[in-house]
Amino acid sequence: MKRTNPFRYLFLGGLFFIVCLVFAVRLARYQLAGTDRYDYARIGTYTRRETVTAQRGEILDRNGVPLVTNSYYYNVLLDYGRMPDDAEGFNRVILSVVRSAARCGETDKLTGTNWPLALEAGKRVFTADYQPEGKYRERLIRLLRDLGYEKKQKKSDPDRPAEEATPDAVYEFLLSRYKLVDGDGAALYTPEEQEILLARRYDLGFISFSPVNSYTFAERVSARFMTLVTEGGETGVLLQKKFERVYRYPGYASHILGRMGSITEETADYYKEKGYALDEPVGVSGAEKVFEDYLRGKDGVRVIREDSSGNIVDQYMEKEPEPGKDIRLTIDIELQKIAEDSLAAQIVSIAESALEKPGELDGEDADAGACVALSPKTGEVLAIASCPTYDLSTFVEDLPALLGDGRTPLVNRALNGLYPPGSTFKPATAAASLADGVITPYTVINDTGIYDYYEDYQPRCWSYWMYGYAHGQQTVVDAIHNSCNYFFFECGRRLTIERLNYYCRGFGLGEPTGVEYPEATGILAGPAYVESSGLGTWSPGDTLQAAIGQSYNTFTPIQIATYLATLVNNGTRYRSHLLYGVYRYGTGEELSRTQTEVVSRLNISSDVIDVVKEAMKNSEENGSTAAIFRNYPITMGGKTGTAQITKTSSDNGVFVAFAPLEEPEVVMAAVIEHAASGTPIGAVAKDIFDFYFHLNGGE
């Protein structure tokens, strides 16, 4: 019997044990260290972070009607980290995008380049921006140096620095640097391909193409373009989702809605501190700017891991995007349209009618104006119009014409136009005089035509100055009805400018209204203003003029509307506001509502206010606008005003109104520049009231 060698079994057993140990270690590694069967796919992978654009909040009117919404589109980008390392592969990617654009007929979607050369009469020259004094000259020199131009030139032309590079030298250097020719100078691409590659390769350097700075190759591409690009299989090509604002009512509420734009050098530090990327669009005017903090969403970040062939092997959201919040404005867009259309139509009507009249300065130069409608019980702005206006949807194309328009259509006259109130100021003087007790509802003042209380200053009532007659015996109701200057001269003298201005400030004249937008404060005429402005010393005659809305009194239309709202609201002034509420994006869920805020209260009795309201009712029933409101089903009150601006232009027209008389729900104030009279502006008030109270076809 053959003996068995024990060492042989020991050797086999040891080998088996070692093999088992190796497998056990590998298994433990897989289980405990997290290594899995996909590890091989991570070898040679590229990880990139992709910004996921957050939705910007949308803007709606008080009823939830969309005014500004979002529309999304795609751009084609080149991503630095995924571009091929070799020049041939790099150039191939560029040409593939251009060919995709050509195949779907969208070469116009390709972005322009900053190529510095042009051909003139068969000779290469620098374009204007790259001439010695051109704005991009220094950038060209810096780029040439970064690409090694001077190092290469030293071999053949040691005295030719980058500053002195000729167009031909730049062209030849870039051909070689971008490997568009071989070592012997023979072309590796067709002439057309060379031109494409030169321009694009230069442009990549121009914008400092890098891991943190992608290159936008095409904008607003179609679905077919996107398909061709992605199916091409070239690495380094990405699709970027972008958004733009869509204006649902083009040409309306433009001053209030505002627009978006780029971060400027002046605002860069401000936005950088707030965490913005410097290429991020921001609100630059109107609601877009004022409510930026609500509207702006926070972009997310998606991490994508790809293998060397561009296949995605893993992706996840590193940071979820947060949409901005929707906001509702206090305006009713249908009422806004009525206000804007009526104001614009009335301006045209005044100018056309004046041309048919004999004489001059009858309103033929009427060309601009503003209108504001407010809720006196809340301070909500129901409509706010400035004419001329503009169309946000075509703003960029229209900008040169807008900037050249002498009527300054970009100015929001409702918030920043300053106008003398004229006789629309007289109800304030009347209320102040009644409240302070210098007159009663039954006080009679005899208008003799010339106010002769002072020897050195004797102004005339407008009727005496224009027609040679005086109003005679006047009560406060008569005086408001007849707009009697003489009566209010006397009220101003008795009241004093200090007491008059106490009440006027309470009404909001010369005070900020509190609206969220930038607004002019206006000027309340008085000693303090005259002295601080270096205009001399306040005189008794200045008080007379201030009492009828002249002197230095100038206010914005929203201030005039706020004053009237405070007056008919028994002296309680609310902060005017345009933000109705803030809502969760796309859901209508209310997050906050702007609260009614009392700014001030004047100690004026309801009896005083009733007298003034009755007088303003009488003015509309029997005054210059009586024909406009004849048989009107809503009892209302109003007051016209006329204010001279220069002796070479028609006077401004001003009109204020409120309705209903007993419990006012809406007040309005409007100014038309060079209207010659406030009377025709009554038609704007009627259109607003018709809509608000559902009259004469108003919805």
Q: Give the pLDDT confidence of 256-274 residue by residue, as tens digits.
A: 999 999 888 888 889 888 8
Q: Does 506 or 35 have the greater pLDDT score?
A: 506
Joined together, the tokens standing for residue 308 give 């060397």
Backbone torsions φ then ψ of 672, nearest 5 degrees: -120, 120
Q: Are 421 and 640 in contact (CB under 8 A)?
A: no
Amino acid 40: pLDDT: 34
Domain endpoint, select from 326, 344, 359 = 326
Contact 173, 144 (CB under 8 A): yes
Q: What is the mean pLDDT of residues 378-401?
A: 96
Query: In this structure, is residue 263 part of a structural domain?
Result: yes
Count how many domains the chain has: 2
- Within this chain, do residues 277 and 417 fall inside the same structural domain, yes or no? no
Q: Does 564 lie in the same domain as 447? A: yes
Instruction: Quote the percentage of the chain above a pLDDT of 90.
Output: 73
Closest by CA position to 95, among listed 177, 167, 188, 173? 188
7 domain-assigned: no
315 domain-assigned: yes
pLDDT digits over 58-108, tens only?
999 999 999 999 998 999 999 888 889 899 999 999 999 999 999 999 999
298 and 389 co-located in one domain: no
Nearest to 652 by CA among 493, 485, 422, 345: 422
Q: Quick one: which of 619, 653, 621 has its CA closest to 639?
A: 619
Is 156 among the domain residues? no
Tokens of 609: 């206010």
- Assess if residue 187 is contained within a domain: no
Domain match, 319 and 447 both: no
Residues 567 and 668 in one domain: yes
pLDDT given at position 38: 34
Question: Are 491 and 544 found together in one domain?
Answer: yes
CA 79 to CA 210: how far, in whole Å? 8
- 571-619 confidence digits (pLDDT tens): 999 999 999 999 999 999 999 999 999 999 999 999 999 999 999 997 7
Residue 381 and residue 303 share a domain: no
In which element (H, E) is residue 30 found?
Answer: helix 6-32
Asked if 460 and 579 sit in the same domain, the reply is yes
> Over 70: is that where the pLDDT of 669 sits?
yes
Alpha carbon separation from 562 to 59, 236, 256, 330, 525 (Å, rounded): 25, 59, 18, 15, 18
Tell me how far apart the alpha carbons of residues 652 and 670 are, in angstroms, rounded to a whole number: 11
Give CA separation, 620 vs 173, 447, 566, in Å.
82, 22, 20
Contacts of 21 (CB under 8 A, 6+ apart): none
Q: What is the per-residue pLDDT across 282-311, written as a single tens digit (0 to 9) for each?
A: 999 999 999 999 999 988 888 878 776 666
| Residue 4 belongs to some domain of the structure | no
Higher pLDDT, 30 or 508: 508
pLDDT at 13: 63
Residue 440 included in any domain: yes
Residues 675 and 558 in one domain: yes
664 has pLDDT over 50: yes
Q: 178-185: long-range contacts (C-beta < 8 A, 24 or more apart)?
A: 178/87, 178/91, 179/87, 179/88, 179/91, 180/91
394 and 263, same structural domain? no
Among 289, 307, 326, identify where a domain stops: 326
CATH code at position 303: 3.90.1310.10
Report whether the peptide linkage leading into residue 388 is cis, meaning its omega lies within 30 degrees of zero.
yes
Nearest to 143 by CA among 69, 221, 206: 206
Instruction: Give strand pairing partners of 327.
Output: 59, 582
Claim to verify: residue 439 and residue 317 sit in the same structural domain: no
Q: Is residue 287 one of the residues assigned to a domain? A: yes
Element (H, E) at 459: none
303 lies in the same domain as 452? no
Which range marks the domain in which residue 49 is found?
38-65+248-326
Return the CATH number at 500. Answer: 3.40.710.10
- Residue 18's pLDDT band, with cuts at 50, 70 and 90, is low
Spatial CA neighbour of 637 closest among 472, 438, 480, 446:
480
- Picking from 273, 296, 326, the residue at the C-terminal end of a domain is 326
Question: pLDDT for 488-514, tens place per residue?
Answer: 999 999 999 999 999 999 999 999 999
